[in-house]
Amino acid sequence: MDNNNSQNNSPQKPKFNIYWIYGLIFLGFIALQFIDFDGENESISWHRFEKEMLSTKKVDKLIVINKDLVEVYIQDEFIGDFDDIKTGMTGQNGPHFTFKIGSIENFERKLEEAQKDFNDEYYVAVSYETRKDILGEALGWIFPILILVAVWIFIFRKMGPGGGSSGGNIFSIGKSRAKLFDKEENNIKTNFDDVAGLEEAKVEISEIVEFLKNPTKYTDLGGKIPKGALLVGPPGTGKTLLAKAVAGEAEVPFFSLSGSDFVEMFVGVGASRVRDLFSQAKQKAPCIVFIDEIDAIGRARGRNANFGGNDERENTLNQLLTEMDGFDTNTGVIILAATNRADILDSALLRAGRFDRQVHVELPDLIEREAIFNVHLLPLKVKKNLDLSFLAKQTPGFSGADIANICNEAALIAARKNNKEVGRQDFLDAVDRIIGGLEKKNKIITKQEKRTIAYHEAGHATVSWMLEHAHPLIKVTIVPRGQALGAAWYLPKERQITTEEQIFDELCATMGGRAAEEIFFQKISTGALNDLEKVAKQAYAMTAYYGMSKKIGNRSFFDSSGNSEYQFQKPFSEKTAELIDDEVNLIIENSYTKAKQIIIDNKDKLKELAELLLEKEVIFTEDVERILGKRPFNHPEEEVLFAKTEDTENTNSQE
Ligand code: ADP
């Protein structure tokens, strides 16, 4: 980072730019085209030469140059006869004219023939010369080299770090690309208050803050400061945020970079960047180095060795391991790394003394989501009585980044409607938009297609309504959105384990769409592709992964290590493969049969539901409940979720 400083301090003088040289060379070439090194003699035809010069015996001598050009010298006393002889650089002495010849033999023959009549009283002397065009030849080989050099420089400049002002050239290719956030320079303001939820992770990691702030407390007792912690969790859950907050809390500099920043097409660059990063970090110690997506370099070594492997990546990883071992525990450089796949990391990275601690950062639960909403609503102007817990309930499975996105999207939607404040409906619209994509109101859909879609979605709704374990329904729509032509929206329950019955009920609900098409139209359509894909995957997982099939028994062929030894070879015999196929078929058929049965039992109600859907395009739980009656199994917790509000009414009329 020192070079940064020096750059800031140096006075601004016009910078030398390599493009000036290119410009000069280019101008030089253009200039060359205009300078005539052959002097000012005129190029003429053989015909004119013979008629005007040779037959009138005015030629003094001829010189054949390089076997293809003839220089004509006119006798001094006749020079005046030719208007077009100019006295240029070559002066009066000639050559006065030139012409090209095809071959020497031909030229000699023609010349002899033309002089036949002179009977030796006049004979033009012909001499032969070989002249070297040094300039032309030199250009002939210098020019390609110049082009090569230019291309080479161009490529290196392109590959340099972003072509920024900080020396984007080949010499800095081995330099670390870490961005430094420093208290003085960039003012890191992030602290633990900005990270909502993640209480356990914060406790774990606040110890690191303590280490950084007050190392002697630990070292006095003989303890060693940990070298690193690995933040593991799905994308967008706040790993970077947490690492920044640690730096902010500890008030130490923070180097941030991504694992892929080490990767370059040249061998050795990654390792050199690692060295550079650590030497920079040591100068700034105590500090935090944050490596995002560390799996880009930290993937277990030696896998796929038959494909040549990736030696460069291994070198980089080795260098990282060495550096982590190498620095003294008390230098105060702590490495935080983030990944969403700890299972594929090299075990050497995870051993004690390197990333000693693993902090799991999970998707936020209901309470955490509410807290995250709280953080991200601060900068927004929201309606006073906005119910945060309702919003949190509407966003199961959303990450912190998704929630940040929803808040922003909601503000944009409210602005588009010219509202002064962001209201609840704006948030719901934002959720819809983020899950489903943009509404496509102008998609061309025929009446019959619309009917099919309506019955398909009503099928999903009816089947799921009647099943005990299916997720609660929020709304059904046939407004096309993103890729989907219609959708039944559920609110997935947050559960940590799922029972066989629950999965099966989900399968039935998913099959409900196609079942309705078959029962009402006696035809099936391609509209169920998505459903079928989901069902097939889930049924396969049930048999091959979860041991939920009697015939296969309690066996799982799941491979959590990601070790792709089984890539080309299934871990089971052909016989088992057939069994799995049979079981998968059976599960899918059973769920389809059950879905059809439910639809047959509720045919009239489903029809009513579909017709209502065709009319309104969006229907809510209340409408479904009115038509189908209360859900047959008791689901008391759902009552809270769907307290209808005025806002929801608005959407109804709007769509
Ligand atoms: P990750 O590194 O895990 O992929 P980030 O830390 O970059 O995710 O998170 C992206 C954004 O999501 C953050 O900038 C922040 O706005 C938001 N975010 C994620 N988790 C939280 C959280 N727990 N509290 C507040 N904001 C969060």
Q: How far is the first Cα of the chain from the last one, in angstroms, to the nearest whole number? A: 56
Residue 310 binned pLDDT confidence (cut-offs 50, 70, 90): low
Strands 228-232 and 357-360, sheet pairing: parallel
301 and 416 together in one domain: no
**With b meaning 16 or more CB within 10 Å and e meaning fewer, what string describes 470-508?**
bbbbbbbbbbbbeebbbbbbbbeeeeeeeeeebbbbbbb
* CA 405 – ligand 1 centroid, Å: 10
Q: Is residue 218 part of a domain?
A: yes
Q: Whose CA is nearest to atom 5 of ligand 1?
A: 238
Closest-lying ligand 1 atom to the alpha carbon of residue 197: 23
534 and 427 together in one domain: no
Distance (Å, rounded) from C-alpha 527 to C-alpha 550?
Answer: 32
CA distances from 375 to 143, 191, 387, 611, 625 (A): 62, 12, 14, 43, 36
For the full predicted model, state whether its pTM sits above 0.75: no
Boundary residue ending a domain (131, 166, 194):
131
pLDDT of residue 652: 27
Q: Per residue in 574-611, pLDDT tens?
A: 899 999 999 999 999 999 999 999 999 999 999 999 99
What's the mean pLDDT in 19-30? 81
pLDDT of residue 148: 92
Is pLDDT at 49 greater than 50 in this prediction? yes
495 and 636 together in one domain: yes
123 and 251 together in one domain: no
The letter for the amino acid at 442 is N
Determine the structural domain holding residue 416 and report its residue range. Answer: 374-436
473 and 601 together in one domain: yes
Q: Whose CA is nearest to atom 11 of ligand 1?
A: 401
What's the mean pLDDT in 543-560? 87
CATH code for the domain of 348 = 3.40.50.300
pLDDT of residue 24: 85
Q: Is residue 539 part of a domain?
A: yes
Boundary residue ending a domain (436, 469, 485):
436
Q: Is residue 35 part of a domain?
A: no
Closest-lying ligand 1 atom to the alpha carbon of residue 338: 2
* CA 435 – ligand 1 centroid, Å: 18
What's the mean pLDDT in 11-37? 71
213 and 331 together in one domain: yes
Residue 172 binned pLDDT confidence (cut-offs 50, 70, 90): low
CA distances from 373 to 103, 490, 541 (A): 90, 21, 34
168: CB partners within 8 A, 6+ apart:
157, 160, 161, 162
- Residue 261 is given by DSSP the state G
> CA angle 351-356-358, nearest 5°?
105
pLDDT of residue 546: 92
Q: Is residue 3 part of a domain?
A: no
259 and 218 together in one domain: yes
Residues with CB under 6 A from ligand 1: 195-198, 235-241, 338, 372, 375, 400-401, 404
224 and 274 together in one domain: yes
pLDDT of residue 2: 41
* CA 533 – ligand 1 centroid, Å: 32
Tokens of 112: 């002899």
Is pLDDT at 47 greater than 80 in this prediction? yes
Known catalytic residues are 457
- Secondary structure (3-state) at 440: coil
Q: Is residue 141 part of a domain?
A: no
Residue 565 binned pLDDT confidence (cut-offs 50, 70, 90): low
Distance (Å, rounded) from C-alpha 474 to C-alpha 648?
Answer: 11
350 and 410 together in one domain: no
Q: Whose CA is nearest to atom 17 of ligand 1?
A: 401
Least confident window among 122-126, 444-448, 475-479, 635-639: 635-639
pLDDT of residue 241: 87
pLDDT of residue 163: 43
Q: Is residue 137 part of a domain?
A: no
pLDDT of residue 87: 57
Greater pLDDT, 531 or 177: 531
Distance (Å, rounded) from C-alpha 328 to C-alpha 182?
Answer: 23
Other beta carbons within 10 angstroms of residue 115's beta carbon come to: 18
CATH code for the domain of 87 = 3.40.1690.20
pLDDT of residue 493: 75
Per residue, what are the HEC states of 177-245? Answer: CCEEECCCCCCCCCCHHHCCCCHHHHHHHHHHHHHHHCHHHHHCCCCCCCCEEEEECCCCCCHHHHHHH
* Percent of the chain clearing pLDDT 70 (strictly above): 84
Closest-lying ligand 1 atom to the alpha carbon of residue 292: 2
Distance (Å, rounded) from C-alpha 163 to C-alpha 160?
Answer: 6
pLDDT of residue 542: 92
193 and 228 together in one domain: yes
Boundary residue ending a domain (109, 131, 153):
131
* CA 399 – ligand 1 centroid, Å: 8
Crossing angle, helix 574-601 and helix 447-466, to 10 degrees? 100
Closest-lying ligand 1 atom to the alpha carbon of residue 198: 23
Distance (Å, rounded) from C-alpha 69 to C-alpha 38?
Answer: 12
Q: Whose CA is nearest to atom 8 of ligand 1?
A: 236
Task: Tell me which range, 340-354, 513-527, 629-643, is most confidently predicted by mean pLDDT.
Answer: 513-527
What's the mean pLDDT in 72-99? 74
* CA 436 – ligand 1 centroid, Å: 22
Strands 618-620 and 69-74, sheet pairing: unpaired
pLDDT of residue 183: 61
Q: Among 492, 510, 503, 502, which residue's Cα sits nearest to residue 595?
A: 510
What sign for the dihedral angle of Cα 443, 444, 446, 447? positive
Greater pLDDT, 208 or 182: 208
pLDDT of residue 539: 94
- Residue 542 is given by DSSP the state I
CATH code for the domain of 542 = 1.20.58.760
Distance (Å, rounded) from C-alpha 618 to C-alpha 650?
Answer: 12
Q: What is the mean pLDDT of the chain?
A: 80
pLDDT of residue 520: 93
Q: In this structure, what are the phi and psi dihedrals at residue 125, rounded to the nearest 5 degrees? A: -80, 130
Q: Is residue 33 part of a domain?
A: no
CATH code for the domain of 385 = 1.10.8.60
Please confirm whether the linkage preceding 95 is cis (ω < 30° from 0).
yes
Q: Is residue 48 part of a domain?
A: yes
Q: How many domains does the chain have?
A: 4
233 and 316 together in one domain: yes
350 and 240 together in one domain: yes
Residue 185 binned pLDDT confidence (cut-offs 50, 70, 90): low
* Residue to mutate, 193, 232, 237, ligand 1, most ligand atoms under 8 Å from C-beta: 237
Distance (Å, rounded) from C-alpha 328 to C-alpha 564?
Answer: 37
